[in-house]
Chains A and B, each alone.
Chain A
Amino acid sequence: MAAKKIYETPMLDVLEEGPWPSFISGIKALRDNHENQFINDVTSSLLGQLEHSYETRKGYWKGGTVSVFGYGGGIIPRFSEVADAFPESKEFHTLRVQPTPGNYYTTDMLNQLADSWEKYGSGLQTFHGQTGNIMFIGTTTENTQTFFDEINEYGWDLGGAGPCVRTAMSCVGAARCEMSCTNEHAAQRWLVNNFTDDVHRPALPYKFKFKISGCPNDCQNAIERSDFAVIGTWRDDMKVNQKEFMEYVKTKGRQYIIDNVITRCPTQALALGDDDTIQVDNRNCVRCMHCINVMPKALGVGDDKGVTILIGGKRTLKIGDLMGTVVVPFRKLDTREDYEEMVELAEEIIDFWAENGLEHERCGEMIERIGLVNFLEGIDVEVDPNMVNNTRQSSYVRMDGWDDEAVKWFERKAEA
């Protein structure tokens, strides 16, 4: 089949040149070669509008309200502001669909999703959007429902859009990484699937994201990009295989090991022995992962694994970028009870923020506004020196509760 109308696209055509795969060539293939007339026409019109954007340096989509029956979110509605010129893509909504933790698929499942999407949509999709969803890009209001109904029957559900709990994300994780210190799959599904109602029916101050990384390399960008970051770590000694270490010294040379491993440790917890072995000061290791990254055959994470939880990371809007802050320095995440306790913490946090956050205020911004201590008291978590880079620098604070707080600290230490 072919599109009823073809638009000239001289600027987009330039993006078909060069060695990197071209999305323009892909969209043109849908326009010219797909057997579904809707796809030919909608992608042709899309190319026309995109060319218009390239020429005028402006975007021409506006939002609106579209969702599927029973949900309040999960669709990114797009209506064209230049539909008179490009009528076939006047409605071009995206469905956000939650992938598995770590984004695993079989080829059969991807083919099945493609089969459904080319029946009801534009034939364009992205794995994945920045929140972590599969983005099925471009369909009509009516077909958001029919497409969702079809894929929902074989196991796929919509993600979040708007002020709600959003689709969660995990790194590749324990499925294929020796650095992983936790079961990212279980952590993600325990957390986000406890909040399906809050995913589908936006009613929070603003978005709330869970992200899970199996180790402090944080390949998932959890600390920077999520309100609730779960990072795998360990608290016993790191693993050292001295034989493999000596092998590295032999092949790479001492200079390389000194320059790239020993002196790069942020807490100077490593030493190279005269016998070409490595000594680790595990009490001062901060689990940064660098030495393990350099020599994964010789060094490895420990056995007593668990997670660190950081709260309040987010991007720029509105008060500037914020990293997450340590709220749980370490907790085990092995048993059903461990997961349940983590979910309870997430519920406490979301409830407190829903009560106290201002409209359009992320959890981290609320913490910045009210102070970490007020937040911790609100969610019933005790203070811990792992939560700070340094202690207070300003003396301008009322401290007449000092004695009671000191007693609490010693009581907690005695219990531990």
Chain B
Amino acid sequence: MAMADMRPPIESGCPDGFQYMHPTMRRNFGLWKYHTDPRPGVLCHVAKSGEKIFTVKAGTQRILDVFTLRKLTKIGDEYADGFIRFTIRSNIEFYVTEEAKVEPLIKALEDEGFVVGGTKNSVTTLSHTQGWLHCDIPGTDASGVVKSMMDELIDEFKNWNMPNRVHMTTSCCQINCGGQGDIAINVQHTKPPKIDHTQVANVCERPSVVARCPVAAIRPAMVDGQPSLEVDEKKCICCGACFPPCPPMMINDAEHSKLAVWIGGNHSNARGKPTFQKLVASGIPNNPPRWPEAGAIVKQILKCYKEDARDWERVGEWVERIGWPRFFELTGLPFTKYHIDNWRGARASLNASTHIRF
């Protein structure tokens, strides 16, 4: 097609949300008074005007096919008021103003296989990335990990059994697109990249790849008479940062790309300041299609948290109160030299006191 025939885009950017908003929300925008939690998966917000709106939250498979999407919109038309939104963890929310509609809506969702829950002190849907389905650099799948975990944790999604909310995440490489979670299941590579020297000069901008390495372990080199790159394997931290700009730096390995579990990431400012997640377990096999080893560790951590944490303590706050030695004692996980941080600022994570629990 000639350039002249091409349609110029309308650069409308981010669209106005008010046009898709429930009229009760539009009327009471910024004028809500309080909310209650009538049952798991349901919120009731009351406005200063006295108007109410009920939210029914459901978990889905996130990678939605149009049939499933239409099932959801059909339920939204027949049992709710035709307005919905998605949470940042890809749960779907339906809205009704009449309390009598809540139970039929829940039934309609459950009859179609969706799972109502994910509010308050439950384990909500793992936030996740694309994995083998669509990413160009993944060490594992994402949707399959989430499906496997949520099959195991479905009762924790549907009930309020936890001391506080549990946000879980998964990431298919160490860039960690899944973000911070109370519990995170992330790929951890354990071997330096294998380099396809026949391809580097063709597909990589070598100075960019050198610059990308966090520990300056990559340098240009001639290999077999061809311009390529070499890795100082003693310095290499196996992070995989060189792989996205240079696919011949093959970091993904069927055996040596493992999973690691991190805990205590928390984005809220409630009580303490936001926190980053900390390593608790690694060396876990990347074992599709069900990743049972990772699932067992997650369930063990959740079991200990559920039994031992106080109300309102997030996973990280719980460990801060009971201390790391007790965490490893309760969970039965090994504490290794790899748990001791050596990245920039690491000394701040060391115990410079006599605060020791006996």
Partner among A54, A196, A200 whose Cβ is within 8 Å of the Cβ of B289: A54
In the complex, residue of chain A having the shortest beta-carbon distance to the beta carbon of B3: A69
In the complex, residue of chain A having the shortest beta-carbon distance to the beta carbon of B35: A296
Question: Considering the chains assembled together, what is the distance between the CA atoms of A132 and B177 in angstroms?
Answer: 12
Q: Which interface residue of B26, B76, B95 has the most chain A CB atoms within 10 A?
A: B76
Given A26-B65, A69-B9, the answer on whether A19 and B15 have CB atoms closer than 8 Å is no
Partner among A23, A94, A320, A321 whose Cβ is within 8 Å of the Cβ of B62: A23
In the complex, residue of chain A having the shortest beta-carbon distance to the beta carbon of B286: A57
In the complex, residue of chain B having the shortest beta-carbon distance to the beta carbon of A9: B289
Residues of B within 8 A of A330 (CB): none
Question: Considering the chains assembled together, what is the distance between the CA atoms of A375 and B260 in angstroms?
Answer: 35
Question: Considering the chains assembled together, what is the distance between the CA atoms of A369 and B151 in angstroms?
Answer: 44
Asked if residues B290 and A14 are in contact (CB atoms below 8 Å), the reply is yes
Question: Considering the chains assembled together, what is the distance between the CA atoms of A407 and B66 in angstroms?
Answer: 64
In the complex, residue of chain A having the shortest beta-carbon distance to the beta carbon of B140: A57
Question: Considering the chains assembled together, what is the distance between the CA atoms of A104 and B137 in angstroms?
Answer: 31
Question: Considering the chains assembled together, what is the distance between the CA atoms of A46 and B143 in angstroms?
Answer: 14
Q: Which of B140-184 contact A (CB under 8 A)?
A: 140-141, 143-144, 147-148, 150-151, 154, 174-180
Residues of B within 8 A of A127 (CB): 62, 64, 86, 90, 92
Asked if residues A107 and B82 are in contact (CB atoms below 8 Å), the reply is yes
Shortest distance between the CB of B156 and any CB in chain A (Å): 12
In the complex, residue of chain B having the shortest beta-carbon distance to the beta carbon of A105: B20
Q: B60: CB under 8 A from chain A?
A: yes
Q: B233: CB under 8 A from chain A?
A: no
Q: B50: CB under 8 A from chain A?
A: no
Q: How many residues of A contact B (CB 8 A)?
A: 133
Partner among B7, B36, B130, B271 whose Cβ is within 8 Å of the Cβ of A149: B7
Partner among B12, B13, B66, B140 whose Cβ is within 8 Å of the Cβ of A30: B66
Comparing A186-194, A275-283, A395-403, the segment that makes contact with chain B is A186-194
Q: Which of A193-235 contact B (CB under 8 A)?
A: 193, 196-197, 199-200, 216-225, 231
Given A58-B254, A153-B10, the answer on whether A30 and B65 have CB atoms closer than 8 Å is yes
Question: Considering the chains assembled together, what is the distance between the CA atoms of A33 and B67 in angstroms?
Answer: 9
Partner among B18, B66, B134 whose Cβ is within 8 Å of the Cβ of A185: B18
In the complex, residue of chain A having the shortest beta-carbon distance to the beta carbon of B270: A290
Shortest distance between the CB of B265 and any CB in chain A (Å): 8
Asked if residues B67 and A219 are in contact (CB atoms below 8 Å), the reply is no
Shortest distance between the CB of B267 and any CB in chain A (Å): 4
Residues of B within 8 A of A76 (CB): 134
Residues of B within 8 A of A161 (CB): none
Question: Considering the chains assembled together, what is the distance between the CA atoms of A59 and B131 in angstroms?
Answer: 8
Residues of B within 8 A of A300 (CB): 33-34
In the complex, residue of chain B having the shortest beta-carbon distance to the beta carbon of A231: B269
Residues of B within 8 A of A223 (CB): 267, 269, 274
Residues of A within 8 A of B148 (CB): 15, 18
Asked if residues A288 and B179 are in contact (CB atoms below 8 Å), the reply is no
Q: A103: CB under 8 A from chain B?
A: yes
Partner among B29, B178, B208, B252 whose Cβ is within 8 Å of the Cβ of A175: B29
CB-defined interface of B270-290 with A at 8 Å, one 1/0 digit per residue? 111010100000000010111
Given A57-B288, A152-B10, A175-B21, the answer on whether A50 and B214 have CB atoms closer than 8 Å is no
Q: B352: CB under 8 A from chain A?
A: no
Question: Considering the chains assembled together, what is the distance between the CA atoms of A359 and B14 in angstroms?
Answer: 27
Partner among B33, B69, B86, B178 whose Cβ is within 8 Å of the Cβ of A128: B86
Q: A168: CB under 8 A from chain B?
A: yes
Question: Considering the chains assembled together, what is the distance between the CA atoms of A199 and B12 in angstroms?
Answer: 11
Given A137-B63, A175-B29, the answer on whether A111 and B177 have CB atoms closer than 8 Å is no
Question: Considering the chains assembled together, what is the distance between the CA atoms of A183 and B18 in angstroms?
Answer: 12
Asked if residues A315 and B13 are in contact (CB atoms below 8 Å), the reply is no
Asked if residues A105 and B68 are in contact (CB atoms below 8 Å), the reply is no
Asked if residues A100 and B20 are in contact (CB atoms below 8 Å), the reply is yes
Shortest distance between the CB of A161 and any CB in chain B (Å): 12
Partner among A11, A63, A98, A216 whose Cβ is within 8 Å of the Cβ of B269: A216
Residues of B within 8 A of A196 (CB): 11, 13
Q: Place the interface of chain B in its size category.
A: 35 or more
Residues of B within 8 A of A17 (CB): 151
Partner among B154, B254, B255, B311 whose Cβ is within 8 Å of the Cβ of A20: B154
Residues of B within 8 A of A58 (CB): 132, 252, 254
Shortest distance between the CB of B131 and any CB in chain A (Å): 8
Shortest distance between the CB of A329 and any CB in chain B (Å): 14
Residues of B within 8 A of A92 (CB): 134
Shortest distance between the CB of B120 and any CB in chain A (Å): 10
In the complex, residue of chain B having the shortest beta-carbon distance to the beta carbon of A368: B344
In the complex, residue of chain A having the shortest beta-carbon distance to the beta carbon of B17: A100
Asked if residues A148 and B9 are in contact (CB atoms below 8 Å), the reply is yes
Question: Considering the chains assembled together, what is the distance between the CA atoms of A158 and B33 in angstroms?
Answer: 36
Asked if residues B288 and A62 are in contact (CB atoms below 8 Å), the reply is no
Shortest distance between the CB of A139 and any CB in chain B (Å): 12
Q: B358: CB under 8 A from chain A?
A: no
Q: Which interface residue of A12, A22, A76 has the most chain B CB atoms within 10 A?
A: A22
Given A153-B10, A176-B32, A177-B32, the answer on whether A104 and B21 have CB atoms closer than 8 Å is yes
Q: Which interface residue of A117, A155, A176, A216 has the most chain B CB atoms within 10 A?
A: A176
Residues of A within 8 A of B276 (CB): 224, 321, 323
Question: Considering the chains assembled together, what is the distance between the CA atoms of A117 and B68 in angstroms?
Answer: 14
Offer 9 A-B interface pairs, CB within 8 angstroms, sorted by A: A14-B290, A15-B290, A23-B64, A174-B29, A185-B17, A287-B269, A293-B270, A317-B214, A358-B211
Q: Ordered nearest first, which 9 A-B pairs have the shortest CB separation?
A: A100-B17, A18-B151, A26-B65, A53-B132, A178-B32, A216-B269, A57-B254, A107-B73, A20-B150
Interface residues of A (CB under 8 A from B): 11-12, 14-15, 17-24, 26-27, 29-30, 33-34, 46, 50, 53-54, 56-63, 68-71, 76, 78, 92, 94, 98-111, 114, 117-118, 123-130, 132, 135, 137-138, 145, 148-149, 152-153, 155-158, 167-169, 171-172, 174-178, 180, 183, 185, 188-189, 192-193, 196-197, 199-200, 216-225, 231, 259-260, 264, 266, 286-290, 293-294, 296-297, 300, 315-321, 323, 358-360
Interface residues of B (CB under 8 A from A): 3, 6-18, 20-21, 25-26, 29-30, 32-36, 45, 53, 55, 59-70, 72-74, 76-77, 82-88, 90, 92-93, 95, 113-115, 127, 129-141, 143-144, 147-148, 150-151, 154, 174-180, 208, 211-212, 214, 239, 241, 247, 252, 254-255, 257, 265, 267-272, 274, 276, 286, 288-290, 310-312, 343-344
